[in-house]
Amino acid sequence: MALDGGLLVRHRVPFSNEDSRFKRGFNRIRITPMAVFWTLITFILVIPILLFLSVAFSPRLMSQGHQWFTLASFKPVFSGAYGIALLHSLIIGVIAAVGAMIIALSMAWLVLRTNSPARILWNTTIFALFLAPSYLIALGWQRLFEQRGVLEIMGLHVEPIRNLLYGPVGITMVLMVKGIPFAYLVIANAMRGLGEEFEQAVRVHGGNRLAAFKVMASLLMPSLFSAMAIVFAEAISDFGVASTLSSVGHFSVATYQLYQGINSIPVNFPVSAATSITLLSLVIMAILAQNRALRGRSFRTLSGRTRPVTITKLSFLGKFSTSTYIVVLLMITLGIPVFGAISASMLDGLGSLLSHYTINFSNYSRVLHSRFLRNPLIYSTEMSLITATLAVGLAAIASKVLTSARNTRSKKFVDFFLLAAVALPGIVFAIGYIFTYNLRFINDLGLHIYGTSFLLALAYTANALPSTSRSLVGNMGQIQESMMDAARVHGSGAARAWIDVTMPLIARPLLIAWLLTFSGTLLELPVSELLYPPGSPPVAVGIELSLAGFDYGGGTAIEVLSILWALVVVGIAFFLFNRFAPPGWKRLGNQR
């Protein structure tokens, strides 16, 4: 290589066959987006899940015992404290699933099939309930009904309700409330495709509205079973209610028993892994039960002769009763927890031994001026921005792999691990990361990342990736691969073809997925609780620490400010998108 007239000139240099083979091998090692994707998938999903779960069967493999293969780790799971906690979770999960399904079915019928005036309220608040973490809902109830809580300060006698709240009734109720939006979205989507001809056939043959409703429910059976399976999985894997109502009421559930096990000394990783496998098996059994119940039955209702649904015109009494039902349900699901949080945040001295309380904004002022209360929100915002960006980028690639027309091994591999990750509770992810990144051979590789923000960001991403990927599959599957091929034929590179063809079609779904991931990560609890770096607690841990120190006013003020901040970020993101995104992105991606 030489300079000739100011130009850089390359000269060919002869090389041997050995050099040629080395050069060809080196050229095959390229850093591509897919290479980065598979590397991250391996380190954030495959390795932590497989290594942690494998210790239940082979403790010696990871230096956690002497047996190469044993099932002894599963014996404590079905006896003693673990067995009782697992039984409690199973019973509560079933009741919450059935209850959430029944309520969601009634709400879907009222919203989609009647002219009830209050249905607009439900449509505007369902996503707020969907995004609210379960532990915030539970904390809202706690602040109202606890000893010397808001209602007792107001002079009300609430001890009977408090006894129910801190036990199986309260835990089941909160889990059912949290499961309603999941069940509603599944059932409502199926009900929109159910034509009117089936109800008319029942009415023609003498059936009343109740008989027509029963027929419609039978045709919705796949969505009803799916809704119950989703709520059951969410209920038995939930940690938010376990860390609040369950711990205070001393009513054990599986996820809190896992948390206590990982905080004990010495940590028994084989039993924790066996408990995690059992929870995963319960979710798989729920899915298999759903498939078995529907086997051999046809529920295909959409055809070219499907008639649009006629909205049922309710009488004045019908409108009043259905509106009352919707308003009462919204009060229980959102109204009471929100009132509990806001009222507690405005009581100065709540949680102390003071006999007189004043209503003011001093708790908010203290949060904004105290770095110990303010810094967790700032730290969680930074981590949520990183996590949402990384998770959505990986989810876009994963959804592209899942919707590929080619049935490759990579597609099956991604599909399997994303499904497995969906079923794993967040606390299992956290325990898996604690176990994996403390192993000697991991540290020998130079990966000294335990106790760092980097590991927390990876865990957040792994926790959000499965649901984020699934949310993009539908939109990505609508894009024909021939469009990308046509762009490449006309001279566009891979990146340019993606920007010109794919981005306009999925820009808005990507934005929504990013905002859902950001909001979910901002107030995430189980991963934050177990993996936060020393001295840098996320906002969920900051809330827990404030409440543990009996600073109920400050803790609830952080709750309210965090939710308001999430709403501000959502508003800013939509404003920037509508203001600066290319017109094609806004036009093609908008489904409204």
Task: Look at residue 118 and tell me if it is in a domain.
Answer: yes
Residue 14 CA to residue 22 CA, distance in Å, equals 14
Q: Is the dihedral of CA 578, 583, 589, 592 positive or negative?
A: positive
pLDDT of 99 > 90? The answer is yes
What is the total residue count of the chain? 592
pLDDT of 294 > 90? The answer is no
What's the gap between Cα 379 and its chain centre?
20
What's the gap between Cα 11 and its chain centre?
57
pLDDT of 142 > 70? The answer is yes
What pLDDT does residue 499 have? 61
Considering the domain architecture, whether residues 206 and 159 belong to the same structural domain is answered as yes
pLDDT of 432 > 50? The answer is yes
Q: Which of these, 545, 142, 537, 86, lies nearest to 278 by C-alpha position? A: 86
What pLDDT does residue 435 have? 80
What pLDDT does residue 110 have? 87
Residue 429 CA to residue 426 CA, distance in Å, equals 5
pLDDT tier, 272 (very low <50, low <70, confident <90, very high otherwise): confident
What pLDDT does residue 325 have? 92
pLDDT tens per residue, range 166-191:
888 989 999 999 989 888 877 887 77
Mean per-residue pLDDT, 201-223:
65
Task: Look at residue 516 and tell me if it is in a domain.
Answer: yes
What pLDDT does residue 466 have? 80
pTM for the whole structure: 0.76
Mean per-residue pLDDT, 559-581:
87
What pLDDT does residue 98 have? 92
What pLDDT does residue 7 have? 37
**What average pLDDT is seen over the chain?**
77
Considering the domain architecture, whether residues 337 and 454 belong to the same structural domain is answered as no
Q: How many domains does the chain have?
A: 2
Task: Look at residue 492 and tell me if it is in a domain.
Answer: yes
Phi, psi angles (nearest 5°) of residue 186: -70, -50
Q: Comparing 128 with 194, which gets the higher pLDDT?
A: 128
pLDDT tier, 91 (very low <50, low <70, confident <90, very high otherwise): very high
Of all residues in the chain, what percent carry a pLDDT higher than 90? Answer: 8
What pLDDT does residue 1 have? 42
Structure tokens at 116: 């009830």
Considering the domain architecture, whether residues 143 and 179 belong to the same structural domain is answered as yes
Considering the domain architecture, whether residues 240 and 377 belong to the same structural domain is answered as no
Top-confidence range, 68-72, 153-157, 433-437, 567-571: 567-571
Residue 117 CA to residue 109 CA, distance in Å, equals 13
Task: Look at residue 54 and tell me if it is in a domain.
Answer: no
What pLDDT does residue 187 have? 82
What pLDDT does residue 200 have? 61
Domain boundary among 323, 347, 371: 347
Considering the domain architecture, whether residues 488 and 581 belong to the same structural domain is answered as yes
pLDDT tens per residue, range 235-254:
888 888 888 888 777 788 88
Amino acid in the structure at residue 368: L
Give the CATH number for residue 573: 1.10.3720.10
Cβ atoms of residues 88 and 251 within 8 Å: yes
Considering the domain architecture, whether residues 275 and 130 belong to the same structural domain is answered as yes
Mean per-residue pLDDT, 452-481:
77
Task: Look at residue 321 and tell me if it is in a domain.
Answer: yes
Considering the domain architecture, whether residues 408 and 503 belong to the same structural domain is answered as yes
Considering the domain architecture, whether residues 270 and 414 belong to the same structural domain is answered as no
What pLDDT does residue 498 have? 61
pLDDT tens per residue, range 501-560:
666 667 788 888 888 889 889 988 888 988 889 888 999 998 888 888 888 888 888 888
Q: Comparing 423 with 280, which gets the higher pLDDT?
A: 280
pLDDT tier, 10 (very low <50, low <70, confident <90, very high otherwise): very low
pLDDT tier, 411 (very low <50, low <70, confident <90, very high otherwise): low
Q: How far from 441 is each of 134, 385, 450, CA to CA, in Å?
A: 37, 31, 13
Q: Which residue range forms the structural domain that includes residue 452?
A: 360-592
Top-confidence range, 136-140, 266-270, 465-469: 136-140
Structure tokens at 18: 């050995």
pLDDT tier, 302 (very low <50, low <70, confident <90, very high otherwise): very low
Mean per-residue pLDDT, 414-419:
68
Q: How far from 513 is each of 132, 327, 509, 520, CA to CA, in Å?
A: 16, 29, 6, 10
Considering the domain architecture, whether residues 328 and 375 belong to the same structural domain is answered as no
Task: Look at residue 163 and tell me if it is in a domain.
Answer: yes
Q: How far from 222 is each of 195, 229, 295, 420, CA to CA, in Å?
A: 16, 11, 10, 21
Considering the domain architecture, whether residues 490 and 579 belong to the same structural domain is answered as yes
Pick from 18-32, 145-159, 184-198: least confident: 18-32
Task: Look at residue 67 and tell me if it is in a domain.
Answer: no
Considering the domain architecture, whether residues 400 and 314 belong to the same structural domain is answered as no
Task: Look at residue 37 and tell me if it is in a domain.
Answer: no
Considering the domain architecture, whether residues 565 and 477 belong to the same structural domain is answered as yes
Task: Give the contacts of 192 (CB within 8 A, at least 6 positions apart).
Answer: 112
Q: Which of these, 573, 437, 496, 559, lies nearest to 132 by C-alpha position? A: 559
Q: How far from 24 is each of 21, 34, 36, 194, 227, CA to CA, in Å?
A: 5, 20, 21, 59, 53
Q: Comparing 281 with 16, which gets the higher pLDDT?
A: 281
Residue 266: asked if its preceding bond is cis (omega within 30°), the reply is: yes
